Structure formats: C-alpha cells, structure tokens
Amino acid sequence: MATVTFDKATRIYPGSTKPAVDSLDLKIEDGEFLVLVGPSGCGKSTSLRMLAGLEDINAGRVFIGARDVTPVPPKDRDIAMVFQSYALYPHMTVADNMGFALKIAGVPKSEIRQRVMEAAKILDLTQYLDRKPKALSGGQRQRVAMGRAIVRKPQVFLMDEPLSNLDAKLRVSTRTQIASLQRRLGVTTVYVTHDQIEAMTMGDRVAVLQDGLLMQVGTPRYLYEHPDNVFVAGFMGSPAMNLLDMSIVDGGVLLGDIVWPVDRSILAKTTGSKITVGMRPEDLEMAEHGIAVQVDLVEELGADAYIYGRLVGTDVPIIARADGRRPPHKGSTVHLRPKPEHVHLFDTASGLRLGA
C-alpha cells in the first residue's frame, strides 16, 4: 500500500494546445478511497490513465509512495485496474480469469489457487469459480474483474467507471460492496465516475475536475456544505443546487419580495450589481413571502416531493423539496424562503464563493 501524488501533472494530446489535464496537484493518502468526478471531457479518466502509465505525461510527475513512476512502464507500477468493460476472457473460467495475471507473472499454481480462493470468498464468488463469464450476470462479472485485481495484491487500485454498465438497482448495491471491500482491504484506491451520487456515497474524499483543472478536493460533506465556486456548487448534490443571480440592494440581496440580509464585508467583495445566491432544493421552505415560483411539475416520491418551477415572470428554473403528503398543485404559485444557515453566496463575475 502507498500514497499517490500528482505533482503538477499535465497531459496535452497531440494536435491540441489545451491540456486535457492541467498541472494537477493532488495527494492521495495511504489506504484512502479518492473519487475523481466531473462531467464528460473534464480529464478524470486521463488523470487515472496517467497514473496507470497508459498516457504520457507532458509535464510534472506522478509518484506512488516515494517512487517517481513517471518513466516507469505500466506493468512495473504495482497497480491493478478495473475498467468500465469487464475485459474478461470468454474462454476461461472465473478462477482462470482471476488468476491469469499471476500465471503470467510465474507465481506457483498452489499460491494462485490460494489467492483466487481468498478473493472469491471475499466477493462471494466461490460457487461460480468453474463457470465461464457468459454464464454470469453483469454484477457477477464486475465482481470477477474486482477479484482479478485483488489477487494481485497491488499497492493501488484504479477503477474507471466500473459500474456504468450495470442497471440502476444493481449499481446501488455494487457500489456499497466496492466501498465496503476497499475499507476491509485498506488498499489505496482512485475511482473515476461522472456520477456525483457515486462520488458522495463512496469516497473518503472527492476531487472535482472541470476542463482539466482541479476545482476542489475534500470530503463529500465538506464539498456539499462549502463549495468553493459555482461549478462545484452546481455539480455536487442531487437535485442540483439552485443558483440565482440576484440584485444587491441596501442591506443585502433581493430575494423576491424580501431583502435577505448580507454582511457589508461580503457585499464589498463583489465586482458587480448582482450576487449569485445558491440554495439547495432541500433547504427551501414554503412561506408567505419570499421567491415567487410558478409550479410546472410536482414529482411525488412518497414522504418527499420535488417542486419543479420557474421564477414568476421569467424562465429561470428552480427546484424545491416539499412535504410529500401535502405538495402544491401543478400550475399554482408558491413562495419559497431559504433556511438562513444554508444560503451560499458567490461572486457572479468570478463564480468564487463569498464568505466562509
């Protein structure tokens, strides 16, 4: 097991002037489960492949432990990778698939058998060891791919969207299994996903990327409660945070028919006449006064309901959570007021957070 360090690591693809990954500085602790998350094309898979040695590094370095692995070929980096596609050999049994890398490495048959049995027990695959991949479900194949990584006893696990081929229900149960397994094994793990729910539920820490740049890194709870900028605020959380550009008035910000008080020291940091106000759907409550919203759709989920609407007189969308037993009617107008302790303020021009 080991730490992983990206030291201003940069990747520029041939024919492009814009880095796919731009001076990535990131340290992953020994035994940590770190999730790289962001929209398509943000550089998360490229970062993982740089660590694996599958992509060249144009500038900067990558370390595994104290060892600079930048010039080291993939097979000598002591990592194991789990891909989006399971990449299992169809003509081999589960046991042979799991032990194939050890066989190539010249590990004695008795040790291969022992390691495969240990991994199969951990992954609840013992009864499937003699089957071929075509006789397995998607979730079972994914566990075989995990087992193939586990038997190698690497310093670092790398996982590139391993759950994206599974159906929604299986994805939920499998992500729980992977997170639980990683904590039991204690192996440093770097996990790539575009799904922020996966990121929030699985990672010890989450690193958010956009256009090759690291936007913020922290625990899921910290990113949820203290996003550094508008991008992180809008990306983390489901449904997404409402981000509304509101006018600055004397004493605060105008939210519908009320003035929301904002400290003068925060207002002084703004660079224009507006502030971007962030309010999560779960932090908005119906009130007599506040932001007037015309309800377009009510999504009833049992105990909760989500209101999808627009600010009255505009096309600006807004989402709020409501009591599932007493939701407003479609077409009605409601007033929403944020909970005081959960309002996020951002500079509209720079997108950066204002205040603590």
Q: What is the mean pLDDT of the chain?
A: 92
Report pLDDT for 356: 66
Confidence of residue 23 (pLDDT cuts 50, 70, 90): very high
Q: What is the mean pLDDT of residues 7-30?
A: 96
Q: Residue 247: in which H helix or E strand, if any?
A: strand 242-249
Residues of the chain with CATH 3.40.50.300: 4-234
Q: What is the mean pLDDT of residues 154-159?
A: 93
- The 10s digit of each residue's pLDDT in 270-305 is 888 899 999 999 999 999 889 999 999 999 988 899
Question: Beta partners for 172?
Answer: none
Q: What is the mean pLDDT of residues 79-102?
A: 89
Task: Quote the tokens at residue 29.
Answer: 């602790």
Task: Quote the tokens at residue 319.
Answer: 């989402």
Q: What is the CATH number of domain 239-347?
A: 2.40.50.140
Q: List Cβ neighbours of 168 (8 Å cut-off, separation of 6 or more).
A: none
Residues of the chain with CATH 2.40.50.140: 239-347
| Long-range contacts of the stretch 170-179 (C-beta < 8 A, 24+) | 170/137, 170/138, 170/139, 171/198, 173/139, 174/139, 174/142, 174/143, 175/201, 175/202, 176/201, 177/143, 178/146, 178/202, 179/33
Q: List Cβ neighbours of 111 (8 Å cut-off, separation of 6 or more).
A: 102
Quote the CA–CA distance of 115 and 215 in Å, as a whole number.
Answer: 40
Q: What is the mean pLDDT of residues 99-112?
A: 91
Beta strands 79-82 and 304-311: pairing type? unpaired
User: Which phi and psi (to 5°) does residue 111 adopt?
Assistant: -70, -40
Report pLDDT for 167: 81
Q: List Cβ neighbours of 29 (8 Å cut-off, separation of 6 or more).
A: 3, 188
Report pLDDT for 168: 81
Give 18 or 84, the one with higher predicted confidence: 18
- The 10s digit of each residue's pLDDT in 313-346 is 889 999 999 988 888 999 999 999 999 889 999 9
pLDDT at 86 > cutoff 90: no
Location of structure tokens 């996903």:
193
- The 10s digit of each residue's pLDDT in 211-234 is 999 999 999 999 999 999 999 999
Q: What is the CATH number of domain 4-234?
A: 3.40.50.300
- The 10s digit of each residue's pLDDT in 253-272 is 988 888 889 988 888 888 88
Share of the chain above pLDDT 70, in %: 99
